[in-house]
Each structure stands twice: as C-alpha cells, then as structure tokens.
Amino acid sequence: FWLKVVVCFNSEALLGMGAGVAALLPQAVPGDSWVQRGNGPTLRRLFGAYGNADLWAAYRRYRTVDDGHGYVSYDELPRIVSLPDFNLLFIWELFSKQNELLEAQELLTLICIFSSAKLGEKGRFLMAVFDASRCGTCTGAEIAQICAAVLGVLARCTGAVVKQKEVSALVREELPGILPKYRDVAKHAAGGAEAAFRQERLVGQEELDQLLTFIQAAYEELPVAGPPPPGAAPAPPPEWSSAAGGASEKRVRASVAKAGAAKRDGNFTSHSTSKLTQAELIHLSWMSRLDEQGVSADGKESHQAQVGAREASSNMSSVPSRRWMIIHGQDFPTIAKDLAGFRRLFIKSVSSALGLPSGCVEVVNVTRGSVVVEFVIHAAGRGGDARDSASLALLLEEQLANSHSALRRGAFAAHAESAELVKQLDRAATPATEEAHREQASQTDPPELELRQELRPANLEEALRRIALLEQELKRRDEIIADLRGDGDSWLLQ
C-alpha cells in the first residue's frame, strides 16, 4: 500500500514539474485563432515538407551570409529560404522589425517549428541556433530563450501575448526540479541560482531529451506536429543549398578556374548544368579516373594507387588547408567512446569523397562543440590532379550542402547531415576553464594521445629525414617485388 502511495506521489510530482512550460504551448494557439488568422496554416504549408536535413541546409545557408550582427536583410532572405518572392514577402511582413530586418534566430525558429522534423530533431536544431558558445551545451537562460522564441513565433500567427520575462522566470523556477544535476550546481554556485541559470552550461543532448518528455504530450496536440499537411509545398531540391549566387560557389568557381580542371579525353564541358556545378563535374571526372586506376577487382588498392599515396606524402611542400567541421546535434561523449574509430571513419569518408589518398586528410583534434573536428587537407599532386588544398576544401563544403553527394550518402552520412565547415573556430566564445579541459581530456582516448606524442617529430628537419628513410625503404621493397615478378615470368617461359 505504501509503495503505491509513494509511486503515485512521485508521479504527480513529476507531472507538476514542467507543467507550466507545457501549458504555455496551447495558450500560444488559443481557440480558433489559428485557422481564422490563416498565418499559421500558410507557414505550415510553406515549410511542412521540410525535414531534418532541410533545417540544417537552411542553417548552413544562413552561416554563409551571417556577418555577426544576428539579423537578415530582405536581399539575404532568398539565400536562406527556397521560396517564391510572394511567399518571402509574406514572411517578411509578418516577422520583420519595422520592415527593415529579420532576427536570424527567429527566422530559423519559424522554419524549424513549422517543419515536419521530429520533436527531438527540432530541439537539437534549436539548441545549435541559440548556443552562443557553440560548445554543444546550453545555459538555463538559453533554454528560456528557445522557449520564448518558439512561443513568440506561434503567437505571431495567432495574436496571443507572450512575455519573455515571464517565460524566463517560469523556466528558471522549473528547471531545478527537472534536472537534478542543474539543481546541485545551482545550490553551490558562487553567484547563487541566478548566476547558475545564466552562466552554467549544463543542458546537453541527454538533458534535452529529459526536458522534451515534459512537453511531448502538449506538443503533439499542436497543429505544427505530425506529417506535412495536404497541399504542402514540395521540399527544396537537393541542390538548393548550393545554388548559384552563394559566396561559396563563387569561390569554388574561381579556385577551379585557377587550378585547372583535370579533363578526361579532352571532352570536358565548361558549362554547368542545372543538376551539377562545374566543380562537381570536375570532381566526377577525377573520381572516374581513380575508379579505373586506383582500385582492383577485389576492392584493394592497386600498386599504382599505393605509389600515388607515397607521392602525395612527399608533396607536403604545397600549402595545406586547415578547416574545422562542426557537427551539430551530436553527443560528444558517445563519439569519445570510440574516438579512434571516429577518426578512421572521418579520414576514410572525406578522402574517398574528394578522391584523395587517405594520407592527404589529417585529423588534428576532436573536441566538443557539439563535435568539432579539426583537420588538414593536403593536395595530392599526382596523376594530373591539379586541385590545390583550397579547392578541395571548397569542394568538401559543396558536398556537405548537397544531400546527394558522396559524403552525404556514405558511411559518414549521419554526421554530415548536420555538419558545417568553417575556416576559423571562434575560441573566444568557447568555455576555457580548467574543468572543461579536464572533462575533454577524460573523454579522449589516452593510448591514442600517447601514440601521437611519440610520433610527433621534434622539428621539421627530423620529419623530412624520417620521410626520406621511409621512401628509401619503400623503393628497396618495390625493387625486390619487381625482381621476384621478373623471376616468376622467366620460370613460366621455361
């Protein structure tokens, strides 16, 4: 009997936690105002066919026009959203500030809310949008901003009133009861519960899943949940996120023109088609040559491919390109359990997608953010491949944007879907406390780190000396193999 009483008491307590935030969702969509005003159903038809991949495509598009101030002009809007002009005007009139600018976070929130992505996918996307540190975890204040933004977008469609201060106060009140870890930190925080609410980054993927369970039932009753509505506009085409006009493609075309395309049989066309960009056609031409020359029938690298890999290793004099791939919505502790396997997967997938020997892709580090891969691309410089490292990096950026690319359809697809490529990582916004460093160190693979330290050369001269010795040894072995093959042929003739 007493066990039943305790279970019932605990169940009622859990239902009470988070009930305030969950109750705000239906309040933002009161009565028949959703249908009467018509704004909500219209936006649902415009973005209802968007899935999780389309959300991240829009995010990547926004990052190409982002200048740091957090707003989007009308000229920038069609570079983020794939819609006709009259639909863009509808969005602009409904959400713009004094008919001048759109808040970028509000724009991405409305795309997310009216899409047909799952609740967990929407939550992870919004965490990436509002995470100011870009380290994969949010503060309580940022969770409150997400709640206020979602309610604000819904209220724009219905005329309901949402006060951000009240939403923030409600989240601050209920968060300790939902997340025990947050409650413990808030008790011992130097500045008290308010300082913990604004500064402590304790809400990660696991905590997000806990929070979403409390609003799941209320969310499923909303008109933005479920599959696309009848008459929904078709999802944007796969190539829309890398369409002409973007800064990325202009850089790709300029770089490709400078490097010179690797032509096959002299029949390469210089005109792009509606399906493939010029850079992609060059890449396919190069990949076809690799298919013919680099891999044997049993799937193993041929002798010629191995020689090419050694040539690439000796061509390190060309300037490499350092990039950071930020994989949003991924749980870093899960990746850290098999960090060596993740590194191998990354190198194999990227090198294969770019048509490079695996030695041309070097992973420098893997850290939080949600998952940040720091890596270096080296030009191959073999077999007529004139692509420099900058061209290869831009091609990789295009592959991330295209859902039909080799990278997005291979073994790395689950990670590449929400990934973006950046030239520089904003370290200033990332927490640099000793505790954060200790946590990251504990989640990496100690044996691998020790091996990297042992293999790291003391200076450039030592590295070149090692490479020269390895080349001599490989040459000697090649000569032995050639002699053995020659003796075998002579024996066969006799």
> How is 185-231 classified by DSSP, letter by letter?
HHHH-TTHHHHHHHH---B-HHHHHHHHHTTHHHHHTSTTSSSPPTT
Q: What is the pLDDT of residue 318?
A: 67
Q: Residues 375, 323: contact at Cβ < 8 Å?
A: yes
Number of C-alpha atoms within 13 angstroms, CB side, residue 149? 23
Q: Residues 270, 278: contact at Cβ < 8 Å?
A: yes
Average pLDDT over residues 428-450: 42
Is residue 291 pLDDT above 60, yes or no?
Answer: no
Share the mean pLDDT of the chain: 76
Structure tokens, 116: 């047909």
Average pLDDT over residues 343-362: 91
Q: Residues 70, 103: contact at Cβ < 8 Å?
A: yes
Q: What is the pLDDT of residue 93?
A: 93
Residue 186 CA: distances (Å) to CA of 16, 173, 177, 182, 491: 20, 12, 11, 6, 82
- 463: which residues sit within 8 A by CB, 6+ positions away? 457
Number of C-alpha atoms within 13 angstroms, CB side, residue 44? 18
Give the model's confidence band at 239: pLDDT under 50 very low, under 70 low, under 90 confident, else very high: low
User: Which three-class secondary structure state does DSSP give residue 30?
Assistant: coil
Average pLDDT over residues 311-339: 77
Q: What is the pLDDT of residue 331?
A: 80
Q: How far is CA 338 from the centre of its chain?
A: 19
Residue 492 φ/ψ, nearest 5 degrees = -65, -40
- Sign (positive or negative) of CA dihedral 56, 165, 224, 69: negative
Buried b (16+ CB within 10 A) or exposed e, 322-345: ebbbbbbbbbbeebbeebeebbee
- Tell me: the pLDDT tens digits for 265-277? 444 333 334 444 5
Q: Which helix (H) or strand (E) holds 71?
A: strand 71-72
Q: Where are the beta strands (DSSP E) in 279-425?
A: 321-327, 361-368, 371-377, 419-422
Structure tokens, 276: 């493939």
Q: Amino acid identity, residue 167?
A: V
User: Which three-class secondary structure state does DSSP give residue 419?
Assistant: strand
Structure tokens, 271: 């005109």
> What pTM value is reported for the model?
0.66
Q: Residues 253, 279: contact at Cβ < 8 Å?
A: yes
Structure tokens, 60: 């990547």
Average pLDDT over residues 228-249: 67
What percent of the chain is modeled with pLDDT above 70? 70
Is residue 39 pLDDT above 90, yes or no?
Answer: yes
Cα separation, 200 vs 305, whole angstroms = 51
Q: What is the pLDDT of residue 466?
A: 76
Residue 485 CA: distances (Å) to CA of 296, 305, 480: 18, 19, 9
Cα separation, 83 vs 81, whole angstroms = 6
Which has the minimum average pLDDT: 158-162, 239-243, 250-254, 408-412?
A: 250-254
Neighbour tally for 171: CB within 10 Å: 24
Give the model's confidence band at 243: pLDDT under 50 very low, under 70 low, under 90 confident, else very high: very low
Q: Residues 55, 115: contact at Cβ < 8 Å?
A: yes
Is residue 315 pLDDT above 70, yes or no?
Answer: no
- Tell me: the pLDDT tens digits for 111-162? 999 999 999 999 999 999 999 887 788 999 999 999 999 999 999 999 998 8
Cα separation, 207 vs 61, whole angstroms = 28
Neighbour tally for 202: CB within 10 Å: 19
Average pLDDT over residues 385-413: 88
Cα separation, 141 vs 170, whole angstroms = 11
Query: Which H, E and C letters describe 228-253, residue by residue?
Result: CCCCCCCCCCHHHHHCCCCHHHHHHH
Considering 110-114, 174-178, 330-334, 365-369, the range whose residues carry the highest mean pLDDT is 110-114
Q: What is the pLDDT of residue 428?
A: 42
Residue for token digits 């696309």?
Answer: 228
Q: What is the pLDDT of residue 112?
A: 96
Is residue 446 pLDDT above 50, yes or no?
Answer: no
Q: What is the pLDDT of residue 240?
A: 65
Average pLDDT over residues 72-100: 91
Is residue 303 pLDDT above 80, yes or no?
Answer: no
